[in-house]
Amino acid sequence: MGMIYFTIFILCVSEIVSGSVNVTGDGAIKKVLKDYNKYAYPGTTDHPIVKITHALNPVKMDYNPKGMLIQVWSQMNWNDRRLTWAGPPAKIHLPMSLIWTPDLVLYNNAIPKPSYEPNAVISQNGDVIVVPVNQYETDNCTNHDDVIECQFKFGSWTYSGDEIELAVVSPHMMLDNYRENPGYEIVGSSAVRNEQKYSCCPEMYYDILYTIQIKRRQ
C-alpha cells in the first residue's frame, strides 16, 4: 500500500514539473495573442467602425477659482473581433499594454498618466472593458448665479468617425462611488456625444462633453 501511495505521489510531482497542469485561461490567452498586433485598430472589412462607449465615474471632486479637479473611474467598452475564442473560460484578464486601446484624451487640458492601469476584462465574443483610474483637471468653468459649471471634453486624438464612433454609457455622470466634497455639492451632471467637422479634414469627428454643476454648501 505504501508503494502505491509513493507511486501516485511521484506521478503527480512529475505532472507539475513537466508543466502539463491546465491553468484556467492559458489556452485562450495563447490563442488570442498569437499574431495579435496591438498597433492595428480592430476595425474589419465588414465592420470598419469600432464603437467605443465611455463613462466617467467620479470618486472625488475638488474646486478652486482656478478650476476643477476630479478623480474618476474612466470606463471604456468596445469589441475587438481578434480577441475571441471557443470553450472555457468565459472571460480572460490581460494588461491593457498587450492589446489595442482607444486613444481618448481630454481635449481642454493636458492628460495625466492613469494613477492605476488595471487589466482589461475580455469576453469570449471579443467584448473588452477597461476601467482605469484617472485624474482630470479643467479650467473651463463658468458661474451661473450660485451654480458653478465645469466641462470636460474627450475625443480620439488620431481616429476619425470613419474608424471609431463614440457613445455615452449614460446621459449623466455615474455617482455611485462618489465621496462628497465638504465645501461643494454636485447638483447636476450631463454627458453628451457631439459630431463635428474641421476645416482640415472631410471626415466627421466625435467627442463627448461631460458637464458638472456644483453649488457651495451653506
CA distance 119 to 94: 5
pLDDT tens digit sequence for 165-215: 999 999 999 899 999 999 999 999 999 999 988 888 888 899 999 999 999
CA distance 169 to 54: 6
Cβ atoms of 154 and 210 closer than 8 Å: yes
- Number of helical H runs and strand E runs in the chain: 2, 12
Cβ atoms of 30 and 92 closer than 8 Å: no
Cis status of the peptide bond prior to 89, with omega within 30 of 0: yes
Give φ, ψ of 177 to 5 degrees.
Answer: -110, 15
The band of 17, judged by pLDDT with boundaries at 50, 70 and 90, is very low
By C-alpha distance, which of 217, 218, 212 is closest to 60? 212
Q: What is the DSSP letter of 157?
A: S
The C-alpha cell 455615474 sits at 174
- Model confidence, pTM: 0.84
pLDDT tens digit sequence for 73-124: 999 999 999 999 998 999 999 999 999 999 999 987 755 556 667 899 999 9
CA distance 63 to 217: 12
Give φ, ψ of 64 to 5 degrees.
Answer: -145, 175
